[in-house]
Amino acid sequence: MILSGLRRAAMTHWVFVYGTLKKGEPSHHVITTKNNKVAKFVSNGRTVHQFPLVIASSFNIPYLLYKPGTGHRIHGEVYSVNDDMLTALDDLENHPNYYVRQQEPVEISDGSILTPWVYFLIDFQEKLLQKPFLDNYSSSGSHGLVYVDSEDTDSFPGDG
């Protein structure tokens, strides 16, 4: 099992990332270990349940919509993080005011099932369900919707 080498005492939370925090994506630097914030890659994985993953807003943000049974099993990465990193991710995702962090089963590459935290958009406009559903996000994907870093702007991204 992939987890056998991890010390769970030091890494107290699993987090599943599916968008710009993944390796090779524009915001991956946020989930790298620094200061007292610790994140260790555990495995690639995909959600056990289907969800709609869409790209929306003027920032081309990947949104995982909380509508179980719609969409696809979502590919992403599982990280083991400490309390400080989880707090930093909550701040980044504006939890619980924008995204909501919930535990959701994820199948990792060795077939094991973990239940990491996943950030969902729960209160969303129904029109988002009309957008194409992805199963594996990449900012440089064939969809042509390159992520725009909202730190370079003055406003918080909307869900339009």
Q: What is the domain partition of the chain in residue ranges?
A: 12-134
Say which of 25, 77, 93, 151 is annotated catalytic: 93
- Catalytic status, residue 93: yes
Q: What is the pLDDT of residues 87-123, one digit of tens each?
A: 999 999 999 999 999 999 999 999 999 999 999 999 9
Based on its alpha-carbon atoms, the radius of gyration of the chain, rounded to whole angstroms, reads: 15
CATH 3.10.490.10 fits 12-134, yes or no: yes
Q: What is the pLDDT of residues 124-153, one digit of tens each?
A: 999 999 999 999 998 877 776 777 786 544
Segment (H or E) for 100: strand 99-103
Residues whose CB is less than 8 angstroms from the CB of residue 24 and which lie 6 or more positions away in sequence, other chains included: 138
Supply the DSSP string of 6-27, one letter for each residue.
Answer: --TTT--EEEEE-STTSTTSTT
pTM for the model stands at 0.84
